[in-house]
């Protein structure tokens, strides 16, 4: 019985180390300043800054990290660590309603690569880095 327990523990320890050795490497951290800000500047800021149509309608100011994280007059749009339920990602992917897919009026929407960067940033905690 004692030998069976020791054998079982040896297998568990071996499998634990093996799974760690073959685990997928962690995705590099997405930089808000270097990767997210340029996307926001190119595709969002013309509407989502004071005086812009998106700002006037929703109150979402995307000029700074702090104003983005503050959200709209209706509440936060980013739930750090959860891109699926973050309104920010939902409207970019068109999962809320086709009439409010962002960027508004952009045929085809954001490139998949840009959406992927934004989703990873939110999933990684939406850090000001």
The proportion of the chain whose per-residue pLDDT surpasses 90, expressed as a percent, equals 73
The encoded tokens of residue 117 equal 């960067």
- d(CA 112, CA 123) in angstroms, rounded, equals 16
End-to-end CA, the chain: 54
Contacts of 123 (CB under 8 A, 6+ apart): 81, 82, 83
Contacts 24+ apart (CB under 8 A), 96-104: 102/44, 103/43, 103/44, 103/47, 104/47, 104/53, 104/54
59-70 pLDDT, tens digit each: 999 999 999 999
Q: Is the pLDDT of residue 128 over 70?
A: yes
121 pLDDT more than 70: yes
Residue 117 contacts residue 36 (beta carbons within 8 Å)? yes
Compute the average pLDDT of residues 64-88: 98
| pLDDT of res. 3 | 53
- Please write the tens of the pLDDT for every residue from 46-62: 999 999 999 999 999 99
Mean residue pLDDT across the chain: 87
Please tell me the predicted confidence (pLDDT) of residue 26: 76
CA angle 99, 103, 106 (to 5 degrees): 85
> What is the predicted pLDDT for the residue at 58?
96
């Amino acid at each position: 019985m004692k030998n069976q327990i020791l054998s079982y523990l040896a297998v568990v320890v071996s499998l634990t180390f093996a799974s760690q050795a073959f685990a997928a490497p962690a995705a590099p951290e997405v930089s808000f300043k270097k990767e997210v800000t340029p996307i926001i500047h190119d595709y969002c800021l013309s509407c989502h800054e004071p005086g812009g149509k998106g700002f006037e309608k929703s109150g979402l100011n995307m000029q700074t990290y702090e104003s983005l994280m503050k959200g709209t007059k209706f509440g936060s749009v980013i739930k750090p660590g959860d891109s699926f339920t973050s309104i920010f990602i939902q409207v970019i992917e068109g999962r809320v309603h086709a009439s409010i897919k962002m960027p508004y009026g952009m045929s085809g929407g954001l490139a998949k690569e840009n959406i992927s960067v934004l989703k990873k940033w939110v999933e990684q905690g939406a850090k000001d880095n």
